[in-house]
Amino acid sequence: MKTGVLAHLFGCLPHRELARQIGAAGYNHVQLAVWKAISDVDSSAPGQLTAEAAQSVRDAFAAENVQVAILGCYLHMFDRNEEQRKVNIARFKELLRFAPDFGCGIVAFETGVNPGQDYTDADWSVMRSTLAELAEEAGRYGVKVGLEAADRHLVGNAQQLDQMLREVGSPHIGVVLDPGNLMNETNFNNQDEVIDEAFRLLGSRIIACHAKDRLWSDNGQLLATPAGFGQMNYDRYAKHLVDLGLDVPIIMEEAAISQMEQTRSFIEGKIRQAAEAQQSQV
């Protein structure tokens, strides 16, 4: 399992320059949030993105031996403002439509956050309907919606993600798993249980993974850091990945360019160690 990277960690650049820098850094796949990473393709509103633009991005990345493995669409997908929600859904559907032109099979998102984590049954119902609509659209284009649970979001933990997937019941949805996103100040000291639960409930539906770390600050805040710079149990994370035999994109998060090589070596080293441990038990 090789480590990819969030494209926008390199900045927001013209797509050929972005592809060149990512390829030069030795990555062979990325998660691409078009409007965060590419400065010369307009996808800021429905109707702006085109198949030709998507194909140009695909070809620029392919020329550098880089695949767009995942498209990121991190918008508020149950926004209580109905007009804004319609815009967000339309932008997501455009990414699903053009994903094959990007050479990509996954469009990923987190549900969105209300200030103060003010969530109601109505919010859940809207999100469920939205997800079902997106899943139906994904099926038309032969791609998958990747849903990621994130603390403080409407779908904020493994149990809620499992529930949402069961309620929608579509084969066109998979899980983007980021154990670091499931951690908070309350559960981090029991992180092994959080990681185990995520794989128990969601493991068979994982289609991509993210890799960040978490670290207690001196004043008791739980910070996000690059993998290997924190206190998360990556041995346990890697063991679950290897035990499941997963061959999915692993996307590095949080790292500055100067930290990327160390972070990648850490992630791939943990996976290699887990695989060697598994083989020694055969």
For 64-78, the DSSP string reads TT-EEEEEE----TT
Domain of 104, in residue numbers: 3-280
Is the pTM above the cut of 0.95? yes
pLDDT at 281: 86
What domain count does the chain have?
A: 1
> Quick count: other Cβ atoms within 10 Å of Cβ 42?
14
Measure the CA–CA gap between 99 and 143, rounded to whole angstroms. Answer: 7
Confidence of residue 1 (pLDDT cuts 50, 70, 90): confident
pLDDT at 111: 98
CB 281 within 8 A of CB 34: no
Write the CATH number for 226: 3.20.20.150
User: Structure tokens of 112?
Assistant: 């969105």
Measure the CA–CA gap between 52 and 44, rounded to whole angstroms. Answer: 16
pLDDT at 46: 96
Using DSSP's 3-state secondary structure scheme, residue 214 falls into strand
Distances 117 to 153, 161, 236 between C-alpha atoms, Å: 7, 16, 30
Measure the CA–CA gap between 255 and 136, rounded to whole angstroms. Answer: 35
**Tens digits of residue pLDDT in 232-266:** 999 999 999 999 999 999 999 999 999 999 999 99
